[in-house]
Amino acid sequence: MPPSAKTVRVVCLSPYPDDGPSVRHRVALYGPLWAEQGVRLHLFAFATRRLYKIRRRFGWRWTLEKALWMAFCTVRLALRLPLLARYDVVIIHREVFPLGPMVFERLAAWMNPRIVFDFDDAIWTPPSNSVNQRAFLWNSRRVPGVIARARHVVAGNRFLGDYARRHNSCVTIIPTPYEDLPPKAARGSATLPVVVWIGNLGNAWYVGERMRALERAAAVAPFVLRLIGGDDLAEIRSDVLQIDRRPWSAAEEHALGEADIGIMPVPDLDYEKGKCGFKIVQYWSAGIAVIASPVGVNATMISHGRDGFLAETDDEWERALVACLSDEGLRAEIAAAGRDTFVAKYTRSIAAAAWSQVFSRMLSAEAA
């Protein structure tokens, strides 16, 4: 927003608190940058931090506690909805309420029609992983309905944007950005290279799909496979690889530069085609080389052989891994080019400025 403009009040409705990586990186962390541009951000998360923390714990005790928290959060959401009228813009990040039809999204639009819908996954289709707790209340009309009612839609990549344009002509593509991570730490030449994967609970099977290629590459050029994520990392086993399993934490995320190569294997499935390549952005920010599957936006983000490698088959994965592991100079060259791509396209300040333009266009159109 222009410095002379009045303060623009923005509220974001999200299913998760800012502990959730999606809302944290796509909206919440813009707060200080937007404040410099005259935009004041508030976050109305549906889930409390406690509910978010226990959401994937099972058993009668956890089910009872989750049910009580769901009741509390639903009442809190109902009480918050009338407050939306105070704001200049309402961002709905993915959804307002996590289950069933778009009842609360309709109510939000009735309270304040200046809605921007933001999404970063193919959430109109069920996820491919086994952690799908919403299947019993799945409503296929929800996402297109919210998109159609929004004044503007912000999508994380072109694939998502093309879907949104079927239901709404006002669409802006804003990739999920990341912060500048500390530069890659120097390590002794006697230390084995580290290949890292970082991901959410339920997605470790992506790595499992490429274990054959990883093991074959390790037989030629030994390395340590570092896996950062949830409890399902325990399912990734190998008699060949040295596997270093670590639970996700902000410290682990910020220490990605301690690795040498970051990988993003992804199956060519409907849900995965909507992914925004966030792992690639994280690895580029950390200054490490990247190898990824050419699925969805990955194929357009990476310039193969310049700022990363695209690998589809096990043979291609093996060749890319061996090339990077065996040639430290090539690794450094690819990593440096990736870092340049990050600085040019995927910093948080670039994304925050693009969002500010969305706000300006929306409010200018309404004033006219």
Query: Can you tell me the mean pLDDT for 76-94?
Result: 97
Q: Please report whether residue 185 resides in a domain.
A: no
Query: Can you tell me the mean pLDDT for 338-360?
Result: 95
For residues 259 and 282, give the distance between their C-alpha atoms in angstroms, rounded to a whole number: 12
Question: How much is the mean pLDDT over the chain?
Answer: 91
Q: Please report whether residue 187 resides in a domain.
A: no
Q: Which domain holds residue 340?
A: 194-345
In Å, how far are 17, 57, 70, 119 from 51, measured between CA atoms? 10, 10, 8, 22
Predicted pLDDT at 146: 95
Predicted pLDDT at 302: 97
Predicted pLDDT at 4: 45
Q: Residue 158 above 50 pLDDT?
A: yes
Predicted pLDDT at 161: 96
In Å, how far are 18, 98, 320 from 88, measured between CA atoms? 21, 24, 49
In Å, how far are 73, 178, 301, 334 from 193, measured between CA atoms? 46, 24, 25, 15
In a shared domain, residues 199 and 339: yes
- Give the model confidence (pLDDT) of 27-72 as tens digits: 999 999 999 989 999 999 999 999 998 888 889 999 999 999 999 9
In a shared domain, residues 340 and 356: no
In a shared domain, residues 66 and 137: yes
Q: Residue 1 above 70 pLDDT?
A: no
In a shared domain, residues 312 and 353: no
In a shared domain, residues 161 and 31: yes
Q: Residue 200 above 90 pLDDT?
A: no
Q: Please report whether residue 331 resides in a domain.
A: yes
Predicted pLDDT at 2: 44
Predicted pLDDT at 117: 97
Q: Please report whether residue 109 resides in a domain.
A: yes
Residue 291 has a CB neighbour count (10 Å cut-off) of: 25
Better-scored residue on pLDDT, 123 or 186: 123
In Å, how far are 35, 52, 151, 154, 355 from 361, measured between CA atoms? 18, 34, 11, 13, 10
Share of the chain above pLDDT 70, in %: 93
197 forms bridges with which residues in the sheet? 227
Q: Please report whether residue 116 resides in a domain.
A: yes
Q: Residue 103 above 80 pLDDT?
A: yes
Better-scored residue on pLDDT, 249 or 68: 68
- Give the model confidence (pLDDT) of 111-128 as tens digits: 999 999 999 999 988 777
Q: Residue 108 above 90 pLDDT?
A: yes
pLDDT range class, residue 182, cuts 50, 70, 90: confident
pLDDT range class, residue 143, cuts 50, 70, 90: very high
In a shared domain, residues 227 and 139: no
Residue type, 51: L
- Cα angle value 357/362/368 (rounded, 5°): 120
Which stretch of 52-56, 137-141, 255-259, 352-356 has the lowest confidence by average pLDDT? 137-141
For residues 93 and 322, give the distance between their C-alpha atoms in angstroms, rounded to a whole number: 40
Q: Please report whether residue 301 resides in a domain.
A: yes
Structure tokens at 194: 């580290």
Share of the chain above pLDDT 90, in %: 76
- Cα angle value 270/275/280 (rounded, 5°): 140
For residues 55 and 39, give the distance between their C-alpha atoms in angstroms, rounded to a whole number: 32
In a shared domain, residues 141 and 77: yes
Predicted pLDDT at 367: 65
Predicted pLDDT at 6: 80
In Å, how far are 127, 151, 218 from 195, measured between CA atoms? 26, 43, 10
In a shared domain, residues 60 and 87: yes
In a shared domain, residues 55 and 153: yes
Cα 67 versus chain centre, distance:
27
Q: Residue 132 above 60 pLDDT?
A: no
- Give the model confidence (pLDDT) of 319-331 as tens digits: 999 999 999 999 9
Better-scored residue on pLDDT, 362 or 334: 334
Longest dimension (CA), the chain: 67
Q: Please report whether residue 188 resides in a domain.
A: no
Provide the CATH number for the domain around residue 334: 3.40.50.2000
Predicted pLDDT at 135: 58
